[in-house]
Amino acid sequence: MTPSSTAIPNLVEDIRRAVSNALAEDIGDGDITAQLIPAERQARARVITREDCVFCGKAWVDEVFHQLDPQLTINWLVEDGDHVSAKSTLFELQGNARTILSGERCALNFVQTLSGTATTAAEYAALASGSEIRILDTRKTIPGLRTAQKYAVLCGGCSNHRIGLYDAFLIKENHIAAAGGIKNAISQAHQIKPGALVEVEVETLAELQQALDAGADVIMLDEFTDEMTAEALKLARGRAKIEISGSVDEARLKQLSGLAVDYISSGSLTKHLRAIDLSLRLLSD
């Protein structure tokens, strides 16, 4: 299922910016190899995936070729979030041959990266299937592609944590020390941005109690044993959500599901992706 573009703040503007930057770094003052082709030559091309994946990147491809040549036609055969089999055609292009070849690598770079992110997210989402746990991403994203990868995570069936440092508080050990304690940190957070989500990372049950008493919305448990986690869930029930951070495999997820943890956040969704293998070929008439 394709997420709404409004699910990620500033996504449309970020797509335009990311594509413009990518084209500038690749084409520079002109694609000299494309100049080998007669300027008037028209062509058709097909893009396929060489491996199974969850597709993501339609808007980025559209933007690449719109910025290069609005007259070029794209025929889409998939949608963001679709599970696609190897050798499937993703889209077809028709228009100026120079434009197709100049935009090829830029367009495929976006698709291979975002589809890789969505595919990794889908693997994690499958682990959580049948449980109430929501798998969250983190800020461990490729620089310049924050909102793009956050969108891809949604396409894969997982959920977003905060988008950046501006839309939610995540108070960790160093913040707590510098702010004068958990109570002070949470109190200041409520004053700085009323209504914003406030999350606190805690290392002990005593710190968890302080966070609950100060009005934290979400509490991240750092290195808690299963016994401590079970106790934390009892204390937090009805008062705050509980999050576990870190890598998780199927066995661990089953354990956490049994404990009724609310969230698991993992940087692996966006930083351990493997780009999807794609191919573009010109078609003969």
Question: Is the fold of 5-125+273-283 the same as that of 131-271?
Answer: no
277 catalytic? Reply is no
Residues 97-147 pLDDT 10s: 999 999 999 999 999 999 999 999 999 999 888 888 999 999 999 999 999
Residues 140-174 pLDDT 10s: 999 999 999 999 999 999 999 999 999 999 999 99
Check pLDDT > 80 for residue 20.
Answer: yes
pTM for this prediction: 0.94
Check pLDDT > 70 for residue 285.
Answer: no
Residue 226 pLDDT class (50, 70, 90 cuts): confident
Helix, strand, coil: what percent of the chain each, to 5? 45, 20, 35
241 catalytic? Reply is no
271 catalytic? Reply is no
Which residue, chain included where needed, has tokens 């197709």? 100
Check pLDDT > 70 for residue 65.
Answer: yes
Q: What is the average pLDDT score of the chain?
A: 94
Catalytic-labelled residue, pool 172, 183, 193, 271:
172
Catalytic-labelled residue, pool 17, 44, 46, 140:
140
Reference 3, options 19, 276, 130, 12; nearest CA is 12
Catalytic-labelled residue, pool 31, 222, 231, 277:
222
234 catalytic? Reply is no
Q: Which CATH class is domain 5-125+273-283?
A: alpha beta
- pLDDT in the model for residue 143: 95
Which residue, chain included where needed, has tokens 């069936």? 157
Distance CA 201, CA 264 (A): 13
Amino acid (one-letter) located at 124: Y
250 catalytic? Reply is no
Residue 1 pLDDT class (50, 70, 90 cuts): low
Cβ(199)–Cβ(169) below 8 Å: yes
Residues 244-275 pLDDT 10s: 987 677 777 777 777 789 999 999 999 998 99
The mean per-residue pLDDT over the stretch 82-93 comes to 98
Helices 205-214, 182-192: inter-axial angle, 10-degree rounding:
30
- pLDDT in the model for residue 276: 98
Each domain of the chain, given as residue ranges in start order, spans 5-125+273-283, 131-271
Distance CA 132, CA 268 (A): 20
Residue 203 pLDDT class (50, 70, 90 cuts): very high
Question: 198-202 and 218-221: which strand pairing?
Answer: parallel
In this structure, CATH architecture of domain 131-271: Alpha-Beta Barrel (3.20)
The mean per-residue pLDDT over the stretch 222-231 comes to 90
Catalytic-labelled residue, pool 44, 105, 183, 241:
105
> What's the token pair of residue 124?
């994690």
Cβ(119)–Cβ(248) below 8 Å: no
